[in-house]
Amino acid sequence: RLRQQNHELFRFGDYIPLRAVGQRADKVIAYARVNHDDALIVVAPRLVFAECDGLLSQSHSGFWSGTDIIIPGQLNQHRYRNVLTQERLMPGERLSLASHQGGVLVLMSD
């Protein structure tokens, strides 16, 4: 549904890989799509089963502590809505995964 509602962003938007830094930087993938004033940021865990005993939630206290996504200038001035939780946020230059359960984010610009 998100793709249908934002057809031009998904069809014509630029793909921007985002850099993860910190303790579990190698356990997360992140990218953005940008088209004019529309932006989408997607963050998802990868290769985490061995480190969380096979639990999908990764909700163990501190699992993502010290792991951030670097948000480049053209993206860090937007306000976003987390499509999964409806939470609104403005990430700034770094998006800390410690405060987002599971390390899964789908952020759509407002």
94-to-53, 57, 76, 90, 97 alpha-carbon distances in Å: 28, 23, 8, 10, 9
The reported pLDDT for the residue numbered 1 is 86
pTM of the model: 0.87
- For 15-37, how does the pLDDT look when each residue is reduced to its tens digit (9 = 90+)? 999 999 999 999 999 999 999 99
Does the structure show a pLDDT above 90 at 95?
Answer: yes
Which residue did the predictor score with more confidence, 2 or 58? 2
User: Residue 8 pLDDT > 90, yes or no?
Assistant: yes
- Per-residue pLDDT tens digits for 35-81: 999 999 999 998 776 666 655 454 555 778 899 999 999 899 899 99
Concatenating the DSSP letter of every residue in 30-68 gives EEEEEETTEEEEEEEE-S-GGGGTT-SS--STTTTTTEE
CATH superfamily of the domain spanning 2-109: Golgi alpha-mannosidase II (2.60.40.1180)
Backbone angles phi, psi at 90, to 5 degrees: -125, 100
Distances (CA, A) of 61 to 52, 54, 58, 85, 100: 11, 16, 8, 19, 11
Nearest alpha carbon to residue 20 among 73, 99, 95? 95
- pLDDT given for residue 57 in this prediction: 53
